[in-house]
Structure formats: structure tokens, C-alpha cells
Chains A and B, each alone.
Chain A
Amino acid sequence: MASDLAYGLLPDHLLLALVLVLMLLETVGATERLASLLLRLALLAGCAVLWQQLATGYAAEPLPGEIGIDRFALLAKLVILACGLLWSLVFPGGTYKSALLAGSSLLGALVIMDSAGFILLFLGIEMLSLPAFALIVHGAGRGTAAEGAFKYLLLSAVASASMLFGIALGYGVTGSLAIAPFAEAVRAGAPPAVAAGLLVASGLFLKAAVFPFHGWAPDAYSGARLHVTGLLASIVKGTVILALVRIFGTVGLNAETTAVVVVLAMLSIFYGNFAAIKQRSFKRLIAYSSIAHAGYMVFALVDTTGSRASDLLWYVAIYASTVIVACAAFAVLCPGEGDDVQALDGAFGARPVTALVFGLAMLSLAGIPPLPGFFAKLFVFTSVVASGYLAAAAVAFVGSFIGVTYYLALSFRLFAGDAHTAPAERVPTRGGS
């Protein structure tokens, strides 16, 4: 029991230790370079522990109904920590405060995945979001950042309230705060349980910026600095989606919830992709594209074949790492605080490798094969179609095609007006008719 608490939660302990050490180091005024180094080390160690636990098939329930570590939890934690590691590697630098905040946010993500009861889950979700508000404001020095963070904070409070109300309703139905009986009651489909499920889900939808709960995302994302936008759009969003799997498990939902999920997924995909087309700011574009991607991920919840968990793990892993890479590449291509996409014009001539990485990341987000983003979508859509939602999937494909337009325009910008690759002979006149 005690060893499970120590060994099973070792990644969490590592992050907690990291947070404490960082606080201490900051007060004694050690060199800032140590911050990102320690963050990377802790994340690497966490990944190694999780890898070892996965390899040995570790599973435990240190506190039944409160903390449960199963294969999904281990995989989800590995995805989160690996993406966090990638994030800390591609965005070098960073102060103690930002490393500390990112570390606590990741700790919250781990706590969510470990939870088997709503108290811990709720705690984790708050731990995930609260440092994020601070991260948005930290080092930005702009009014828009505070505005974005404030919007995020207010709407997160609404989300928390909605979740708490749902949890309370669920407690009224099941008489327990554990997740498993709650999910069972929601599946059975009694009206109060359905309402409870929808309230909890809408709280999480709000955090994941699913239409129509997306209002905060563009402002929060564009107010933050690019590396924070990258963190919000990838890991924070992905964790919230995985939290949905943590709650609802891998079996089918009831008919009402499924209908709501299909409609919201479609609206998210279309709204996000349409709104992204006309964005000139890269961060806002990422915000709207992340709304669309939240739509695809939520869509996977309608699956009844039992592959929801693996689909979403793949999707979150691929999507989060792609967004992180794209943001990092953008930061390299367009140094400075500006994020107008026009700055990408002709970037291939100046930095071919980074531009290529950025272009491929964009096409991957668009879901063009053979890039990983295509397979993430393929997995989701195969389960959805196998669950009998072929028509909805076809509609979603149309939505994803709309997404291709702006991703493609972004990656084509890399080659625009490029004097280095332009041919010597240019055809000035249009002959013929």
C-alpha cells in the first residue's frame, strides 16, 4: 500500500519535488539556467519511471475509489510528460517562475490521470489550470495578456462550478464520489445521471474550448507568449480531453450524451476551421485550429467499440507534439513578439530546415497523409465509423478539408516571393487567350 503510494505516484512526487526545489532555488537566487535544466531532468526521470512501470505491467489502487493507477493512466501520464519534455526542450530558456508554473501544471495533469474519485480529479483540474493563468500573464507585460488570463480565469470558474454541480448531482444519484459508479449511472441513462454527466462534460468541454464554450481561447492564446500558447493548446487541452476518458471510460455513452457530443463536435470542427481561415495572427490561428481539433477529439467519445482510449491517446500525443513543434518552429522563423503570419513569407530561403519542419507540422495538423496527423484522425474516424456514424464522419471530413485551406496557405507562405529559389527566367506575359 505504502509502496504503491510511493512507487505508483513516483512521477508525481518527482514533479512535486521539482516545484519545491525550484521555489527554494529562486529564493536563494541561483542562476536561471538551472531552471529549465531541472525541469527537463524531472520530466525525463518521470518518463523513465513510467516506461519502467509500463514495461512491467504495473497497476495498483493505493486508495480504492480515490487513487487508481491502470494502464491508461500510465500511458496518459507518459504522453503528458513526454510532451512536456518536448516542450521544455524546444523552448529553451525560461525563468524559475515559468518552469515552476509549468511543472505545477503538469503535476495537476498527472493527478487527474491518477484519480479514481472526483475529489482528486477536481483537485487535478484546478492544479492544471491555475498555473496556466499565471503563465499567461508571466513575462508578457501587456494588457492583452491580463485580459486573456482574466477571461480564462472567469470561464474556468464557470467550468468548475458546472463540474461541481454535476459531481453533486452524481453524488445524489450514486451516493459515492468515486468515478466508476458515476460513469455506470451515466451510462444507464436515468435523467438526473444524464444531467450530471452533461454538466461534468460541459465543464471539461469549456476547459478544452469546444464550441460553444470556446470564447476564452482566442484571447487567452493570443495574449500569452508563444511558448505558453504552445503549452495551452497542446498539453493542457490534451489533458482535459484525456480527463474525459478518465471519467467516462471506454464503453459507449447513453443516447442523449452521444447526440450532444456529435453536434458539439461538428460545430467545433466547422466553427474552428472557418474562423481560423481569416486569422492573421498565428496565435489566434492556433487557438481556432485547436477548437477544431478539440472537435475531432470529442468526436471520438461517440465510439462504442472500446477503442476510445487508445484513439485519444494517439490523437493527443500526435496533436500535442505537433502543436509544440509548430509553435517552436514559428518562434525560430519569426523571432520577436510579433506573430503575424506574413512574417513567414519566404522563410524557406532563410532557414530551410526549420521551415520544412514548420510546413510539415502544418500539413500534419491538416491531416494530410503520410504525416502523423493523418493517422491520428484515421484512428478516431475508424472507430467512429465502426460505431455507425458514417454520415457524421463524412461531415467531419468536409470540415477537416476546410481546415486544410489555412494550414496549406501557411505552409505555402514559406515559399512565397522567395528570391533564392525563383527561377532566373520568369515568364512575364500571358500568351494565348
Chain B
Amino acid sequence: MGESVTPWLLLVVPLLGAIVASLSPRGSWLARASAMAAMLVVLALSLRLFLAYEPAADASRFDFNLPWMPALGINLHFAVDGFNVYLVLLAALLFPVVLGCSWHSPHTPRRLYLALMLVLESSLVGTFLSQNAVLFFVFWEAVLIPAGVLILVYGGDNRRRAAITFFLYTMAGSVLLLAAVIGLGAEALGQTGQWSFELGVLYGLRLDWNMQMFVFVAIMLACLVKVPLVPFHAWLPLAYYEAPAPVTALLAGALSKMGAYGILKLALPLAPDVAAAAATPMAVLAVTSLLYGAVLALRETDYKRLIAYSSLSHMGYVVLGLFILRETALHGALLQMLSHGVAVAGLFALLGVLEQRLGPAYRQATALSSAAPRFAVWSMVFVLTTVALPLTSGFTAEFLILFGAFAQGLAAWQAHAGALPLVVALLALTGMVIGATYMLRYARAILFGTDNGAHRIADLRPMEIASLLPLLLVILVIGIAPAAVMGKAESAVAQLATARTLAVSALPAAPEPAGIGGTHGK
């Protein structure tokens, strides 16, 4: 008892908050207060969990496991591990921050809005914490309902089309995921004699090449749509643009991490041989997406879309880091999830504040540094994190990813395994340069420029600043002293990298050459 219920509480508290918020009288302060209180409780719990989590210590400390459908091996199993400990904290952090930033927005007092936000938080945290494949799928899909309705009800002019596109697109990606999950359960039935969807059991299965291929393709489709990577990104500009800014902040900051987490938690460990063989094509895809997003952001003049495309580009780094198949790059990818989540949520939240003050005219806002200096400073913080200025979290994360990519590329080059991995690393570096260009252009356009006096806006209020402070804390901690944070994921990453190395070295019988993973295994 005690600590093992913490993961479960993380799910239940937002739901309780949602019930209180939806039952409170119309227009009353109670709805907002209960929503904020629930989110803060979740934040406190997850912070405590983050600080107390010791990978070396007893693994079952934060492990909530309750049989649900024992005959099918489906358990309510929520646990903290090295991979989700960041993401739970990120999700728990972003929700109160975003709510705080939009505290005075016209949507915020609405009960439906608050209830949906809380349900979204619960299902998102549930996705990250699930240690059972069916449970994971349940939460993975459940996220769509509140997110889709939030876009549908509170979005811009095209909200209906945006919501339906978002819902159907991401759902289409997941169609095969359930087939793969059930297929894995049936494999467990065949190999161990009983149904099991526990990830711990599924990791231990010996899957042949074809089954691994099916599982990998199914999971990757689901994840790449969610991340998204080019060419699965068609829903992104529409959804990010039409959703209200706080929801966009959550979509880009927290929901896009689900896809990357799915790759890390399902695709890599469940189909290690195929993942190793597909590493180079996946890295190429990631870099394509990274450059595509960067180029689109470069020629975009609408602020919201610009940030949306920058998000597309930065999620490319995450996927690249995952498929470098090296410990450094995996660490980088994990940190990038956290760093990008914080930075992009901050950027969208600030755009939301601006939209709230100026209405539609925020699209023409300029020279805000003189009108709203505090706003300008905060914007600059997130812009600089996004361009990966040293001492910010963006630098740590992207440096680790690129370092891993170069190491891998050089190793492949020296092993005469082709120059493609090296080219990928170089192109990823180019993406960083373009990233700096468009982000600084964004900052110039919105903060500097000629002040025509049209945009006299109220500067950030104390509530908004207080909400943004935790984001700055995360950025600086990761930027200055990443080791303490990385330690949480150390053993999980090492284990994954080693397991994959073993899989790669055991690969010669496989019909495909092992790709760059093979050189790593030597």
C-alpha cells in the first residue's frame, strides 16, 4: 500500500476533479478551482514520484497491479519505469501551466472544457503509465475522445473538419495496433499456455521475423501518425491551427510524446530485430520530416502554424534519436521529449495569451517588446530553448541526439556500411541551422519590428508568470545539470540499448542485413 497506489492516484484524481467540475454550478469559481486543484495534486504526486524514483531500488515500489480480466491476462497495471518517469512529469506539469496561462480566457470557466481537460490528463497519464498492452491501447485511444471534442467545441472556424480529421487520422493509424496487441497476446497463449498482455511477459516472447515485422509495422503506423512524421502529418497543421491555443499547447507538448513513447515502449523492445534492420530507413524518414517541417516553418508567416511546423521538425529529432540505437541518442531523445514539450507548450501558451488579449488581430501583432516586455522576455526564453541555445534544455537534448548520430554515422562509415547514416547526421545538423533561422525570425516578427501603436496590450499577469515559471525551471535544470535527470532513465536506457545490441549480434540468420545497428553490436 502507500506508494504503490501513487500511479493509480495520478489517474483517479483528475477524474474526480472532472466530476466535481462538471457538477459545480454554471459559471461558478468552483469548477475552475477544482480543476486547478486536481491538476496541482497530480503535479505534486508526480513530482514526488519523480524525485523518489530510483531505478536501482526496488522496481515494484511504484507498481499498481490489479487483475481485471484474469482469464485474458488483462491487468490494471500501472507502474513507473525509466521511460515514463519523464513523461508523467511532463504531462502533469503542462496541464496546470496551460490552465494557469488561460485562466482568464473565455473558455476556462466552462465546465465541459475543464472536465474534458481533466479527462484528457487522466487518459494521457494512463497511456504513459500502462504496463499492459491492452490497457495501453485503451488509454491510447481514449485520449482521442476528450482531445477531439475539445477541438470540436472550442476550435476556430474549421473546427469540425479539424476535429474529424484529427480523430480519424490518428484512429486510422491505430487500427492495426490492436490487431498487433491481440496477436501478441495470442503468441503469449501459444508460448506460455495462457493469455497475457502484460508488457513484461510480451517482452520475453520469442517472435519470428514475420510476426516481428507485423508488430513493428502496426506499432510504427500508430506512433508515426501520433508523433507525427512526414508523410503522416496531414492532420497536424489543421488540428494545431484550429484548436484553441491551450489545447494546441497540450497537443504539441504532451500528446505528440505519446507516439514517441509508443516507439520506445512497444516498437523497439517488442520487435528488436526488425527495429534494428529498419533503423536507417526510419532515421531517414525522421530527418526528412525534420527538414520538411523546418522548411515549411521557414516560409510560414502565421505564428500558430509556424510553431506547429517547428513542432513537426523537433519531433523529427526525437524519432531520429530513438532510431540511432545508441545510449547517448536515446537519452537525447528522452530529454528532447521533455524539452520540446516544455518549450512548445510555453510558446503556444503565450500565443494563447496574445490571442486572448488581441483577438484575431494577434496574427498581425508586432513590436511587443516595447508594449509588453515581460511577454517578450518569456517568449525569448522559449524561442532560445527551441533553437537549442547552450545552457537550455534544447541544447542538451539535441546535442546528445546529434552526438549519437555522428558517432553512429562514423562507425558505419568506418565499417564500410555506407555513408547514409553520416549523411543523416549532417542533414539533421542542417535542420538545427534552419531551426535557428525560423525561430529567430519569429521572435523578430512578433517582438521587435516597427511599433505602429496598434497593439497596446496588457503585459503578462502574475498568474500567467507563475504558471510559466515551472517551465523555466525544467529548461534550466536540464540545460545546466542534466545528469541528475538522466540518472532516472539511465538503467532503462542501458537495458534497452544492450538488449538491442544483443538482438543485433544474434541477427546473422535474419533475411535482412542488420543495417547500422549491426555495426553498433560489434
B138 at the interface (CB under 8 A from A): yes
| Interface hit among B57-65, B159-167, B395-403, B415-423 | B159-167
Q: 0/1 per residue, A380-410, Cβ < 8 Å to B? A: 0110011000100110011011001100110
A331 at the interface (CB under 8 A from B): no
Q: Known: A368-B141, A401-B172, A415-B152. Is A425-B182 also a contact (CB below 8 A)? A: no
B153 at the interface (CB under 8 A from A): yes
B144 x A368 contact (CB < 8 A): yes
Give Cα distance in the complex from A433 to B295, angstroms: 14
A311 CB → nearest B CB, Å: 11
Give Cα distance in the complex from A383 to B371, angstroms: 65
Give Cα distance in the complex from A195 to B8, angstroms: 54
Chain A contributes a number of interface residues (CB within 8 A of B) equal to 39
Q: Known: A363-B145, A394-B179, A423-B244. Is A412-B152 also a contact (CB below 8 A)? A: yes
Q: Which of A370, A409, A432 contacts B305 (CB 8 A)?
A: A432
Q: Which of A374, A409, A412, A421 contacts B138 (CB 8 A)?
A: A374
Q: 0/1 per residue, B178-214, Cβ < 8 Å to A? A: 1100110110010000010000000000000000001
| Interface hit among B37-45, B104-112, B461-469, B474-482 | B104-112
Q: Known: A369-B137, A374-B138, A431-B301. Is A421-B112 also a contact (CB below 8 A)? A: yes
B331 CB → nearest A CB, Å: 32
Since A385-B185, A398-B175, A412-B163 are in contact, a sample of 4 more A-B pairs with Cβ atoms closer than 8 Å, ordered by chain A residue number, is A368-B144, A390-B182, A412-B148, A421-B154
Give Cα distance in the complex from A409 to B355, angstroms: 29
From 354 to 374 in chain A, residues with beta carbon under 8 angstroms from any chain B beta carbon are 363, 368-370, 374
B433 at the interface (CB under 8 A from A): no
A424 at the interface (CB under 8 A from B): yes
A32 at the interface (CB under 8 A from B): no
B106 x A408 contact (CB < 8 A): no
Q: Which of A393, A426, A428 contacts B182 (CB 8 A)?
A: A393
A401 x B182 contact (CB < 8 A): no
A2 at the interface (CB under 8 A from B): no
Residues of B within 8 A of A352 (CB): 112
B179 x A397 contact (CB < 8 A): yes
Chain B, Cβ-Cβ closest to A382: B182
A368 x B145 contact (CB < 8 A): yes
B360 x A427 contact (CB < 8 A): yes
Give Cα distance in the complex from A370 to B134, angstroms: 10
Residues of B within 8 A of A10 (CB): none
Give Cα distance in the complex from A144 to B310, angstroms: 57
Residues of B within 8 A of A363 (CB): 145
Chain B, Cβ-Cβ closest to A360: B145
B458 CB → nearest A CB, Å: 15
Interface residues, chain B, with chain A CB atoms under 8 Å away: 72, 106-107, 110, 112, 134, 137-139, 141-142, 144-145, 148-149, 152-154, 156-157, 160, 163-164, 167-168, 171-172, 175-176, 178-179, 182-183, 185-186, 189, 195, 214, 244, 299-303, 305-306, 355-356, 359-360, 363-364
A-B contacts, 12 of them at CB < 8 A, read A369-B141, A374-B138, A381-B178, A382-B72, A386-B186, A404-B171, A408-B148, A416-B160, A429-B363, A432-B302, A432-B305, A432-B363
B178 x A397 contact (CB < 8 A): yes
Residues of A within 8 A of B359 (CB): 425, 427
B110 x A421 contact (CB < 8 A): yes
Give Cα distance in the complex from A390 to B215, angstroms: 12
Residues of A within 8 A of B160 (CB): 412, 416
A370 x B142 contact (CB < 8 A): yes
Q: Known: A382-B195, A412-B152, A415-B152. Is A432-B301 also a contact (CB below 8 A)? A: yes
B364 CB → nearest A CB, Å: 8
Interface residues, chain A, with chain B CB atoms under 8 Å away: 352, 363, 368-370, 374, 378-379, 381-382, 385-386, 390, 393-394, 397-398, 400-401, 404-405, 408-409, 412, 415-416, 418, 421, 423-433
Q: Known: A382-B182, A397-B179, A418-B153. Is A428-B72 also a contact (CB below 8 A)? A: no
Give Cα distance in the complex from A324 to B96, angstroms: 39
A368 CB → nearest B CB, Å: 6
Chain B, Cβ-Cβ closest to A352: B112
Give Cα distance in the complex from A432 to B110, angstroms: 30
Q: Is the interface of B mostly helix, strand, loop or mixed?
A: helix
Residues of B within 8 A of A404 (CB): 167-168, 171
A397 x B176 contact (CB < 8 A): yes
Q: Which of A379, A390, A428, A433 contacts B183 (CB 8 A)?
A: A390
Residues of B within 8 A of A433 (CB): 299-302, 305
B138 x A401 contact (CB < 8 A): no
Give Cα distance in the complex from A363 to B171, angstroms: 12
A423 x B149 contact (CB < 8 A): no
Residues of B within 8 A of A428 (CB): 157, 360
Residues of A within 8 A of B355 (CB): 425, 427
Chain A, Cβ-Cβ closest to B72: A382
Q: Known: A405-B168, A423-B154, A427-B157. Is A393-B179 also a contact (CB below 8 A)? A: yes
Chain A, Cβ-Cβ closest to B134: A378
B175 x A378 contact (CB < 8 A): no
Indicate the member of A416, A426, A430 with the most B CB atoms within 10 Å: A430
B510 CB → nearest A CB, Å: 21
A431 x B138 contact (CB < 8 A): no
Give Cα distance in the complex from A424 to B104, angstroms: 13
Q: Known: A433-B299, A433-B300. Is A421-B182 also a contact (CB below 8 A)? A: no
Chain A, Cβ-Cβ closest to B140: A369
Residues of A within 8 A of B183 (CB): 385, 390
A388 CB → nearest B CB, Å: 8
Q: Known: A378-B182, A390-B183, A431-B302. Is A397-B157 also a contact (CB below 8 A)? A: no
Residues of A within 8 A of B306 (CB): 432
Residues of B within 8 A of A416 (CB): 160
B175 x A415 contact (CB < 8 A): no
A401 x B171 contact (CB < 8 A): yes
Top 7 nearest A-B pairs (CB, nearest first) are: A432-B302, A431-B363, A369-B138, A431-B302, A394-B179, A427-B360, A386-B186
Give Cα distance in the complex from A400 to B182, angstroms: 15
Give Cα distance in the complex from A333 to B334, angstroms: 48
Give Cα distance in the complex from A20 to B317, angstroms: 74
Chain A, Cβ-Cβ closest to B111: A352
B311 CB → nearest A CB, Å: 15
B60 CB → nearest A CB, Å: 25
B17 CB → nearest A CB, Å: 18
Indicate the member of B139, B153, B189 with the most A CB atoms within 10 Å: B153
Residues of A within 8 A of B182 (CB): 378, 381-382, 385, 390, 393
A427 x B156 contact (CB < 8 A): yes
A397 x B175 contact (CB < 8 A): yes
